[in-house]
Amino acid sequence: MASNEDLKKELEKIQKQLADPEFVLDYKRVAEASKRYAEIERLLSGNPSANSGQVSHQEVIVEIRAGAGGEEAALFATRLFEMYKKYSVLQGWQLDVIDYTQTTIGGYKNMIFELTGKEVYNKIQYESGVHRVQRIPETEKSGRVHTSTATVAVLPKAKETDLEIKPDDIEMTMYRAGGPGGQNVNKVSTAVRLLHKPSGLVVSSQRERSQARNKELALEIIRTKLLNMKRQQEAGNITEERRKQIGSADRSEKVRTYNFPQDRITDHRIKKSWGNIEKILDGHMESIVEELSQQLK
């Protein structure tokens, strides 16, 4: 049996792997590493059986999009994705990237991923909205602080029985899946882009090597988005709810601000701030999650 010291070293190794941009693109390895991370955490806590065997409790689709701020906004969207990815590891959740678009310098214009695990939606539902960052970009020679935004949408994943999608309403195109820097990683067109003609929704999936599986994943996202819109319409509040979930990505419309010069994160809905931005962006966001759950429930 491995000693606590060996387990801690393995934990550090996994943390470095999950911080590697190349490693995170291998979704199966990420899932395996996340599972092992959670197992080690339980072993170090002295309760190896805690939460064991508890998977697929909740499933959500998370979409992050770069907003105002150009390349800097895309880099910020990437930092948000890294934060959720590391937080999911600490929670023992499974994260699967479905689709993404990168900029020329490596930031994400958009990132869609699925999270599965215990209390996923309960814990991150309040991440939805416009996130604003104030910092000096690495490319800024004059040292001026820039303000950029990214939007986050957290949607409970819909089941096939929740909403019927007619085949005639879907238009499909195929393309080659992309890798880091924009290169095509597949020689055949396995990635899928679906257009839901009645709503105008366009969704892509390039996660799987199978075209059929990518189509299935894209349909799941369309179904999830349509069900969310349907529920908002039924509540008679679609405009307000859509604004809360997605927003316009305008700098003035925000739920949270990440102020790097002052090392402070402020959530404007509950008017509370936290220090140590880097630690929180490294996945240690439990204090924010708990405070939001208590005050916004």
Six token digits for residue 39? 């197992």
pLDDT digits (tens, 9 = 90+) for 53-85: 433 758 999 999 999 888 999 999 999 999 999
Q: 275 in the Ramachandran plot: left (φ > 0), alpha (ψ -120 to 50) or beta?
A: beta
Note the pLDDT of residue 55. 36
Domain range 167-236, its CATH number among 3.40.50.300, 3.30.360.10, 3.30.160.20, 3.40.50.620: 3.30.160.20
How far lies 105's CA from each of 100, 139, 177, 210, 273, in Å? Answer: 14, 11, 19, 29, 31
Note the pLDDT of residue 285. 95
Please answer whether residues 102 and 85 qualify as being in contact, where contact means their C-beta atoms are separated by less than 8 angstroms. Answer: no
Question: According to the CATH classification, is domain 59-160+245-296 in 3.40.50.300?
Answer: no
Note the pLDDT of residue 27. 55
pLDDT digits (tens, 9 = 90+) for 118-148: 899 989 999 999 999 999 987 677 788 999 9
Residues of the chain with CATH 3.30.70.1660: 59-160+245-296
Note the pLDDT of residue 296. 84
Please answer whether residues 203 and 194 qualify as being in contact, where contact means their C-beta atoms are separated by less than 8 angstroms. Answer: yes
Residue 230 pLDDT exceeds 90: no
Q: For 267, phi and psi rounded to 5 degrees? A: -100, 115
pLDDT digits (tens, 9 = 90+) for 155-205: 988 887 788 888 899 999 988 776 544 444 444 578 899 999 999 999 998
Residues of the chain with CATH 3.30.160.20: 167-236
Note the pLDDT of residue 256. 96
Predicted TM-score of the model (pTM): 0.71
